[in-house]
Chains A and B, each alone.
Chain A
Amino acid sequence: SQTIHQWPATLVQPVGSPLSLECTVEGTSNPNLYWYRQAAGRGLQLLFYSVGIGQISSEVPQNLSASRPQDRQFILSSKKLLLSDSGFYLCAWGRETGTSGSHEQYFGPGTRLTVT
């Protein structure tokens, strides 16, 4: 079975400090990978997605970046955090099912980031 890990679980960082959040997936190969941000316990905002190693698509211009150095590893980074970067960051992996190319996504446990 597939599992998805994120770390750290919580993080408190000062404004202007760097950021690195990591996501790894087990039990599947060549997954699509996604980073979402959730503010105030509501909607999910897609930040980045990747269909393969080194392939990153950015959805929202911001001071964050993403990288995929290995097939099942996805990293979210920032050189200098802003207060507005606080939120709940979710990694997800996606797959097509055998039913007419339907697509499903499965989420990790999330990282709670507080920028002070």
Chain B
Amino acid sequence: GQQLNQSPQSMFIQEGEDVSMNCTSSSIFNTWLWYKQDPGEGPVLLIALYKAGELTSNGRLTAQFGITRKDSFLNISASIPSDVGIYFCAGQPSSPRNKLVFGAGTILRVKS
């Protein structure tokens, strides 16, 4: 089946640092989505990308839909403590169109 490789699996951040994570696949996707999950809560949709090459921002977050349609990245600029959590990428395949393929997640932790 289709799979997404999300990296890194986890990372430590210090306040003010920029953060990057990405997802890659051997399959092409029609849509890329990025979610954030806080502990004990459901994932929240951060950014949706609809076209190859598209670059979209949401505050300090920027995400891009790879030109090959097989990858996407998420950048967080000037991180703050509340950025900690799990970030998931998700791709919408051509078929079936109503199911998403999820990455395994990137855990963001604060460096003490």
Chain A positions near chain B (C-beta within 8 angstroms): 32, 41-44, 46, 49, 51, 90, 92, 94, 96-97, 99-110, 112
Contacts and interface: CB of A to CB of B under 8 A. Distances in A.
Given A49-B99, A107-B43, A43 B104 contact: yes
A102 B50 contact: yes
Contact of A103 (B31, B88, B104): B31
If over half of B's interface residues share one DSSP class (helix, strand or loop), that class is named, otherwise mixed; here it is loop
* B-side interface size class: 20 to 34
Contacts, number: 64
B23 interface: no
A103 B44 contact: no
If over half of A's interface residues share one DSSP class (helix, strand or loop), that class is named, otherwise mixed; here it is strand
Contacts of B103: 43
A102 B90 CA distance: 12
A44 B102 contact: yes
A108 B93 CA distance: 23
Interface of B: 30-31, 33, 35, 39-45, 48, 50-51, 86, 88, 90, 92, 97-100, 102-105, 107
B98 A104 contact: no
Given A41-B86, A42-B86, A42-B105, A103 B39 contact: no
